[in-house]
Amino acid sequence: MKLLEYEAKEVFRRYGIPLGASAVASTPEEARDAAAKIAKPIVVKAQVGVGGRGKAGGIKPADTPEQTYEVAKQILGMKIKDLPIRKVLVEERLSIQHEVYLGVIVDRASRCYTILASSEGGVNIEEVAAKTPEKIVRNNIDPLRGLRSYNANNVAKRLGYGGKKMQQLGDILQKLYRVAYEMDAELTEINPLVETADGFIAADARLNVDNNALYRHKELEAKYLESFEGELTPREMEARAMDLTYVELNGDIGIIGNGAGLTMATLDTVMLYGGHAGNFLDLGGGASPDRIGKAVEFVLKDNRVKALFVNVLGGITRCDDTAKGIIEARGKLGDNKPIVVRMMGTNEEEGKRLLHGAGIETNDTMEEAAQKAVQLAKRV
């Protein structure tokens, strides 16, 4: 889950990371009132879940509440990378001496959090990383010992800071690491961390929380689910209520697989042979006959679907259970649409025997089955 800047800043504030005065606004009026309260020169910042707002014109200065109103009105009517801007952050404008980049990311290869830092922060950090990688300082964090102050200060030192500034930067890094660790972040980032005459201030904030950990952050979880409202199709909503991983697509071949990788590969194979998938449905691991039956029924009931392709690798999900589920759904709906099945693995023989007994054919390879499904969808 990607938090917006203002949401990430709410978290940063709780951890004591220094920030400028700010308020979020959904209308130009709210933006004007916020600016009047802050009573300082302002920047108005588009709140959007993609990077590079600065370059896309989503960050604009304003000197008075009236100007803030105008600028907010402009930004609230904009789209950045196709996303409409629904909120802006009205923030005290900083007087920038220098921009630093700080990030804490999960480094899969080292199996730990890693600090990425650079004294060349700002909107061109990707370019800095690509052209002058030596300007990016890396530091792995031992998960058991955490980030000690001497480690953090050492990173600050490698960025060229000494004395008080080194300590202040080190302190911010330790706080950022605590955010990452306690919020189960995949990535947390301050770019830029701005050096001003009064010390460092985080001008931007990014925090991406691992979705698998959302159950530990109930407030975020609720927000995450809410964010889908209005974006899911009616069938996708229905599927979610049934706890199925389902994405509606615009073709005419229904696809059911187990495991996201296999299901994606199934879509690709259908596409390769000239077909068009009508959906993505991943059964996940260990699905029961009942669950499989419901999934098959759900896809077959889709009016746009002309043929169904079930592709299952029997592991924890068993082939005989898959067969039972398909037969159950067919029993309910009748023989209304052709079904192509490719299954292999656990209890494959039994699964095939059940299907053949019910008059449903199976194919031995994904390629054969995909071609069959494409043909059948064309014929209907």
The residue ranges that bind ligand GDP (CB under 6 A) are 43, 45, 51-54, 59, 93-94, 96, 99, 122-123, 191-192, 203-204
**Nearer residue to ligand GDP within complex by CB, 91 or 252:** 91
Residue nearest to Mn ion (CB): 204
CB of 98 to ligand GDP, least distance (A): 11
Catalytic residue chosen out of the listed positions 120, 186, 189, 348:
189
CB of 40 to Mn ion, least distance (A): 21
**Nearer residue to ligand GDP within complex by CB, 191 or 371:** 191
**Nearer residue to Mn ion within complex by CB, 58 or 170:** 58
**Nearer residue to ligand GDP within complex by CB, 100 or 370:** 100
Distances in Å between the Cα of 98 and the Cα atoms of 63, 101, 129, 249, 270 are 22, 10, 18, 47, 53
Count of residues interacting with Mn ion (CB under 5 A)? 2
Distances in Å between the Cα of 79 and the Cα atoms of 24, 242, 350 are 18, 34, 55
Alpha carbon 52 to its chain centroid, in Å, reads 17
End-to-end, the C-alpha distance of the chain in Å comes to: 41
Name the one residue in this structure whose structure tokens are 């609230």: 76
191 lies in the binding site for Mn ion (CB under 5 A)? yes
118 lies in the binding site for Mn ion (CB under 5 A)? no
Q: Are strands 98-107 and 362-363 parallel, antiparallel or unpaired?
A: unpaired
Give the Cβ contact number of residue 238 at 10 Å.
14
204 lies in the binding site for Mn ion (CB under 5 A)? yes
Provide the token pair at 59. Answer: 């960050």
The answer to whether residue 7 is catalytic is no
Q: Which does 284 bind (CB under 5 to 8 A by kind): Mn ion, ligand GDP, none?
A: none
Would you give the binding string for Mn ion spanning residues 151-190, x where CB under 5 A is met? ----------------------------------------
CB of 230 to ligand GDP, least distance (A): 24
**Nearer residue to ligand GDP within complex by CB, 54 or 345:** 54
Q: Which does 172 bind (CB under 5 to 8 A by kind): ligand GDP, Mn ion, none?
A: none
CB of 19 to ligand GDP, least distance (A): 11
d(CA 295, CA 80): 37
311 lies in the binding site for Mn ion (CB under 5 A)? no
Name the one residue in this structure whose structure tokens are 């592709």: 311
Q: Which does 32 bind (CB under 5 to 8 A by kind): ligand GDP, Mn ion, none?
A: none
CB of 61 to ligand GDP, least distance (A): 7
**Nearer residue to Mn ion within complex by CB, 5 or 321:** 5
The answer to whether residue 189 is catalytic is yes
47 lies in the binding site for Mn ion (CB under 5 A)? no
Catalytic residue chosen out of the listed positions 6, 69, 101, 161:
101
CB of 65 to ligand GDP, least distance (A): 17
Q: Roughly what angle, to the nearest 10 degrees, separates helices 319-333 and 289-300?
A: 40
Q: Which residues fall within 8 angstroms of residue 213, CB to CB, at 6 or more apart?
A: 184
Q: Which does 366 bind (CB under 5 to 8 A by kind): ligand GDP, Mn ion, none?
A: none
Catalytic center residues: 101, 189
Binding residues for Mn ion, per CB under 5 A? Answer: 191, 204
